[in-house]
Structure 1
Amino acid sequence: MGPSGAVRSVRARYLVYFQYLGTGFNGVAAVRGSQRAIGVQNYLEEAAERLNSVEPVRFTISSRTDAGVHALSNTAHLDVQRRPGQPPFSPEVVAQALNTHLRHPAIRVLQVFRVPSDFHARHAATSRTYLYRLATGCPGPDQLPVFERNLCWALRTDCLDVPAMQEAAQHLLGTHDFSAFQSAGSPAASPVRTLRRASVSPGPTSPFVLPQENRKLHFWTLEFESQSFLYRQVRRMTAVLVAVGLGVLTPTQVRVILESQDPLGKYQAHPAPAHGLFLKSVLYGGLRDLDPASC
């Protein structure tokens, strides 16, 4: 209480975990001043207006995703300043309010945490994991079950050389200049990143595949973990690993592409489609992280 006896309002910062189906969005970031394009953030901030914060609520997104890319769990921080004399909302109230007032069915708030006022959702992240889904044994995207469309990349092949892809992925591990896998328009000051994990494995069987299709239609999962990624790095790495799986490239050629630092090369210049990519998790040291699979 100040000299005048007035009660000051308190600004509370929250970390929000949320998920979305990226189809139909212009990416996660808010689109300002456009009536045709809209981002996930637009809907989140619209819902946050119902919290009646003294200052407008703005979401600071931890991990930007492109149009068509999905998130099992993305994060953002936001500040809510209530009127003088009103205590901060509990995290549970913030989560319930956001979900209640979200006007798009493809977005869902998973959980909310109260965090220190200097916490930053993007800078504080210690790990990000992306997964990419592939489908083989399908003549084309129009032959996929309708429930799987826009959720995987349907390759026009019956098989992939998965051991070769796994071998190629090992060449990407570690700290490197990933310029060859960076698309133009990246805001990153440095192209050096440390890839901690890169895996290629059979994906779970889709419950939407009919028995008569089950014999030939198979799903595969690629996972990549790093503290941060360059713009479209995961989709470019996926495209190159798929080229290895199709026998177009050898595993050792992936290392040559990496060392070339050439973003305009034939195989890395064409990223894998956005609709097969999912942001799986964003982790923070010292905070209890949410497992999306538990919700």
Structure 2
Amino acid sequence: MIIFVNTMHNLARYLIFFQYIGTKYSGAVKVPPHSPKKGIQDHLEEAIQRLRPLNSVSLSVSSRTDKGVHALSNSAHFDLQRRNDKPPFSEYNIVQALNFHLTTEQIRITHAYLVPNDFHARFHAQSRTYIYRIALGTTRHDLPLVDCNLCWNICNTELDVEAMREAATLLSGTHDFSSFQAVNSDMAFRNPVKTMDVVNIQPGSSFARAYFHREIPFWELTFTSRSFLYKQVRRMTGALVGVGQGKLSVSQLNEILEARDTYAYPQALVAPACGLFLTKVDYKESDLQLSQQPSSTEN
């Protein structure tokens, strides 16, 4: 008997990529019942359940962004079995159907793949990229509406960017980042040694640059690694901005890194969630390929 990958009893595994504005959500993953704010995963699973699958759907999210953090491209996988022996939804139709049921939320599916049944969105990810947006010389009320809650507004009109870039070189490469893990993190058991493939600081811009009454200086900090510790990006960002503001010297940041102690990090420096975007989750193309394609799909 021949068993097709991902099609036994018409059970299909999908990898979806999705984006969201995280301001009104508790974070990327599910929250306990009766919580005041739902997680992105709660809304995604509700949308999938509206497709009336035969199985109970549980989403596996690749990147657990925190409350208030945004994503231009997060990812997750789930299994779906249709009723009455119907073949799997096509990739196009699963995107359209889920977006129809997400219309009232600030969550959108961008694309989907039918993947092998041993594919895992989190463990097969090769890298994740975050960008942190900073606006200078502003208060929250001075920002264009399209940038509110989507950047960290700092009253300073200037940052010592060269000092920040010098400090960024200390964070690049492989290090024990224990000092940049959140205090009392429930992920404290994770290996604190991470490799930062990219720690970059470049000029950015307002989303309303061509339509606002004045030019606002923006900077973007980019971080790429296979994985991160809990709140590591926000703590690295806060430390780099601290260097740019003269609150920390480059040597002091190095001392914090070398301390390998979460309590060595000055807690007042942690960057707020509002400026952080998950922008990319990368996979090997070979991991996304079904070894044998489903025999058919239908609308």
Q: What TM-score, normalized to structure 1? A: 0.90
Distance in 2 (alpha carbons) for counterparts of 1:257 and 1:281: 28
* Large movers: runs of 4+ above 6 Å: none
Which runs of 5 or more structure 1 residues have no equivalent in the other structure?
Answer: 290-295
The question of whether the paired residues in 2 share the 8 Å contact of 1:18 and 1:75 is answered with yes
Percentage identity across paired residues of the two chains: 47
Distance in 2 (alpha carbons) for counterparts of 1:95 and 1:276: 27
Aligned to 1:292: none
The question of whether the paired residues in 2 share the 8 Å contact of 1:46 and 1:102 is answered with no
Which runs of 5 or more structure 2 residues have no equivalent in the other structure?
Answer: 289-299
Aligned to 1:293: none
The question of whether the paired residues in 2 share the 8 Å contact of 1:47 and 1:103 is answered with no
2:245 equivalent to 1:246: yes
2:25 equivalent to 1:30: no
2:191 equivalent to 1:190: yes
Q: 1:286 to 1:211 in 2, by over 3 A?
A: closer
Partner secondary structure for residue 233 of structure 2: helix
Distance in 2 (alpha carbons) for counterparts of 1:23 and 1:169: 28
Distance in 2 (alpha carbons) for counterparts of 1:233 and 1:287: 30
Distance in 2 (alpha carbons) for counterparts of 1:8 and 1:158: 60
Aligned to 1:118: 118
The question of whether the paired residues in 1 share the 8 Å contact of 2:256 and 2:265 is answered with no
Aligned to 1:134: 134
2:61 equivalent to 1:71: no
The question of whether the paired residues in 2 share the 8 Å contact of 1:173 and 1:198 is answered with yes
2:236 equivalent to 1:260: no
Residue deviations 1:56-85, cap 9 Å, x none? 211110000111100000000010012353
Residue deviations 1:13-56, cap 9 Å, x none? 00000000001101111223115221111111111012221112
Distance in 2 (alpha carbons) for counterparts of 1:207 and 1:102: 26
Q: 1:76 to 1:211 in 2, by over 3 A?
A: closer
Partner secondary structure for residue 132 of structure 2: strand
Distance in 2 (alpha carbons) for counterparts of 1:205 and 1:288: 36
Aligned to 1:281: 280
The question of whether the paired residues in 1 share the 8 Å contact of 2:180 and 2:265 is answered with no
The question of whether the paired residues in 2 share the 8 Å contact of 1:150 and 1:275 is answered with yes
Q: Which deviates more from structure 2 when the two are superposed, residues 246-255 or residues 22-31? A: 246-255
2:175 equivalent to 1:176: yes
Distance apart, 1:210 and its partner CA: 5.8
- CA-based RMSD of the aligned residues comes to 2.1
The question of whether the paired residues in 1 share the 8 Å contact of 2:119 and 2:287 is answered with no
Distance apart, 1:287 and its partner CA: 5.2
Distance in 1 (alpha carbons) for counterparts of 2:161 and 2:19: 30
Aligned to 2:42: 42
Distance apart, 1:265 and its partner CA: 2.7
Which runs of structure 2 are paired with 1:157-168 in the superposition (5 Å)?
Answer: 157-168=156-167
Judging by fraction of residues, say which structure has more helix. 2
Residue deviations 1:201-238, cap 9 Å, x none? 11034425766421xx2100000000000000000000
Q: 1:211 to 1:130 in 2, by over 3 A?
A: closer
Distance in 2 (alpha carbons) for counterparts of 1:254 and 1:240: 7
Q: Which deviates more from structure 2 when the two are superposed, residues 180-189 or residues 227-236? A: 180-189
Q: Which deviates more from structure 2 when the two are superposed, residues 37-46 or residues 186-195? A: 186-195
Aligned to 1:92: 92
Amino acid at match of 1:101: H
Distance in 2 (alpha carbons) for counterparts of 1:206 and 1:71: 15
Choose between structure 1 and 2 for higher RCO, CA contacts under 8 A separated by at least 6 residues: 2
Partner secondary structure for residue 195 of structure 2: strand
